[in-house]
């Protein structure tokens, strides 16, 4: 697989080559001229920095070099990670699916069944609005997004008159403190909230108390992906020109180096300069340090990015726009695995946290929050028809139950659990019509 220049690797190599000391007579300053283009992994390992760069440079000059090469040395953050199309798409896929699922509060009935607990305040909130400014869909989508980015999400339950009135989602990370009597509190900017009134959803937890986000766990991978995106941007901004160095024959201070680079870039760098003849300033020589970027290299880098994001988020590459090797059959199987291995664990952690804190001790015996994922597992029309026929013929489902799953209105007499095929079963000693008795 084709590799691209890693910004972290370049930075480390520069730090080792340019000591933060005064300029010496022996040292030579080299000025980057255009964006660094990706090279093959084997070339990158063996090439190293040119010998002309083995001088002494201070920190500002190193930063100037990186900027001249087109590198953005800013840290990977939750915001920059979301700028990766595949990662943002993966979060949106999971968030939108969970946010669109039917959900509510249910209560067990004496006959062994269950029903929707429409009288419970949480049921109405989950159906419509959890807050005057936030509807149920946006709330659940925000929970999932925070889980992927931060590894945890906090929701404060606000009560009035003993009843749950609203759910609030602060964006700050609180401290967890233990008070008197062994009671724990979450402290949000000075406000201490009893842990019993805070829903704390978390993933990738190493201790069961705090979660870890994807950005923190896979920082090196995100740095590489962002570097690939930045390299592509800079490369095409410079009309595909490979990078090089201007090497002076006399020592220069940082200001002189910056001026020389500004003059060179102004005369020779940019898509409008493509195909034109440039001129080297007196006392400089040009060293080419990059190779041209082929379409195959860009394609391979993007494939690797999509596969990495698929591994990090659990969202199949097929759902991220990669149709390589896809067929109708494996698309259906991919959807099933997506529900089972990606959506279901997140749904389960949300259900468990809400069931343990949203109900009183007495209510916990009979009440619970439940997401309905049956609609995502129904498959295609032919598969559903076969399943319904089997369940109907063995008396496991009534016609009205089948119609309810297909969003169809019930009909009178459709609640019977008879077995339609039973009338076609003949006794063993019964002979077909027309045979001798």
Q: Token pair of 70, please?
A: 């087109």
Longest dimension (CA), the chain: 120
The conformation of residue 290, written as its DSSP 8-state character, comes to -
Taking phi first (over 0 means left), then psi (-120 to 50 degrees means alpha), and beta for anything else, what does residue 161 get? left
Task: State the Rg of the chain over Cα.
Answer: 32
Whether 393 has a pLDDT exceeding 50, the answer reads yes
Out of 74-88, 205-219, 238-252, 394-408, the most confident range is 205-219
Is residue 419 located within the same domain as residue 399?
yes
Q: Do 164 and 52 sit in the same domain of this protein?
A: no
Segment 72-92, tens digit of pLDDT: 545 789 999 999 999 999 999
Q: Give the model's pLDDT for residue 422.
A: 57
Specify whether 151 is located in the same domain as 32.
no
Residues 16 and 133 in one domain: no
pLDDT in tens, 279-288: 777 788 877 7
Could you tell me if residue 65 is inside a domain? yes
| Least confident span in 96-100, 233-237, 425-429 | 425-429
What percentage of the chain reaches a pLDDT higher than 70?
A: 70
Contact indicator for 353, 347 with CB cutoff of 8 Å: no
CA 156 – CA 149 distance, rounded (Å): 19
Quote the CA–CA distance of 352 and 354 in Å, as a whole number.
6
Do 52 and 126 share a domain, yes or no?
no
Domains of the chain: total = 3
The DSSP string of 336-369 is: HHIIIIIIHHHHHHHHHHHHHHSS-TTGGGTEEE
Query: Which range (130-134, 210-214, 290-294, 401-405) has the least confidence?
Result: 290-294
**Sign (positive/negative) of CA torsion 323, 327, 331, 337?**
negative
- Domain presence at residue 350: no
Burial bucket for residue 362 (CB in 10 Å: 0-12, 13-18, 19+) = exposed
Question: Is the residue at 1 inside a domain?
Answer: no
- Domain of residue 127, residue span: 84-101+121-216
Whether residue 127 is found in the same domain as residue 162:
yes
Cα gap 201→146, rounded to integer Å: 9
Are 88 and 212 within one domain? yes
Q: Which residues contact 51 (CB under 8 A, 6 or more apart)?
A: none
Write down which residue in 299, 316, 338 finishes a domain.
299
In this structure, are 425 and 383 located in the same domain?
yes
Residue-wise pLDDT for 272-320, tens only, equals 666 566 677 778 887 776 555 555 567 788 888 999 999 999 999 988 9
């Amino acid at each position: 697989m084709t590799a691209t220049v890693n910004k972290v690797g370049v930075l480390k190599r520069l730090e080792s080559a340019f000591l933060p000391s005064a300029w010496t007579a022996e040292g030579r300053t080299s000025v980057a001229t255009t964006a660094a283009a990706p090279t093959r992994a084997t070339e990158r390992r063996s090439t190293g920095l040119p010998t002309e760069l083995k001088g002494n440079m201070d920190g500002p000059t190193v930063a100037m070099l990186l900027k001249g090469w087109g590198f953005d040395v800013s840290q990977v953050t939750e915001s920059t990670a979301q700028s990766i199309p595949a990662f943002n798409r993966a979060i949106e896929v999971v968030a939108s699916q969970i946010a669109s699922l039917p959900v509510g509060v249910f209560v067990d009935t004496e006959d062994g069944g269950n029903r929707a607990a429409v009288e419970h305040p949480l049921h109405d909130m989950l159906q419509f609005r959890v807050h005057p400014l936030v509807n149920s869909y946006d709330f659940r989508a925000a929970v999932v997004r925070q889980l992927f980015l931060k590894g945890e999400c906090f929701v404060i339950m606000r009560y009035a008159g003993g009843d749950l009135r609203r759910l609030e989602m602060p964006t700050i990370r609180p401290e967890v403190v233990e008070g008197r009597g062994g009671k724990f509190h979450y402290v949000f900017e000075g406000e201490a909230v009893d842990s019993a009134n805070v829903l704390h959803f978390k993933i990738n937890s190493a201790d069961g108390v705090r979660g870890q986000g994807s950005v923190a766990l896979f920082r090196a991978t995100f740095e590489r992906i962002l570097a690939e995106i930045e390299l592509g941007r800079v490369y095409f901004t410079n009309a595909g020109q490979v990078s090089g160095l201007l090497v002076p024959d006399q020592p220069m201070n940082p200001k002189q180096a910056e001026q020389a680079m500004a003059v060179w870039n102004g005369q020779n760098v940019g898509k409008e300069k493509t195909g034109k003849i440039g001129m080297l300033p007196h006392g400089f020589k040009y060293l080419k340090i990059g190779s041209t970027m082929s379409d195959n290299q860009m394609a391979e880098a993007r494939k690797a990015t999509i596969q990495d994001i698929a591994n990090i988020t659990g969202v199949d590459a097929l759902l991220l726009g990669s149709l390589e090797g896809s067929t109708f059959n494996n698309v259906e199987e991919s959807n099933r695995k997506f529900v089972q291995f990606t959506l279901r664990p997140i749904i389960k952690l949300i259900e468990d946290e809400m069931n343990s804190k949203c109900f009183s001790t007495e209510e916990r015996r009979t009440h619970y929050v439940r997401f309905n994922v049956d609609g995502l597992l129904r498959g295609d029309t032919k598969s559903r028809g076969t399943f319904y026929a089997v369940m109907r013929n063995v008396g496991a489902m009534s016609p009205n139950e089948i119609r309810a799953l297909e969003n169809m209105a019930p009909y009178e007499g459709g609640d019977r659990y008879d077995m339609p095929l039973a009338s076609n079963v003949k006794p063993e000693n019964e002979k077909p019509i027309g045979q001798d008795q």
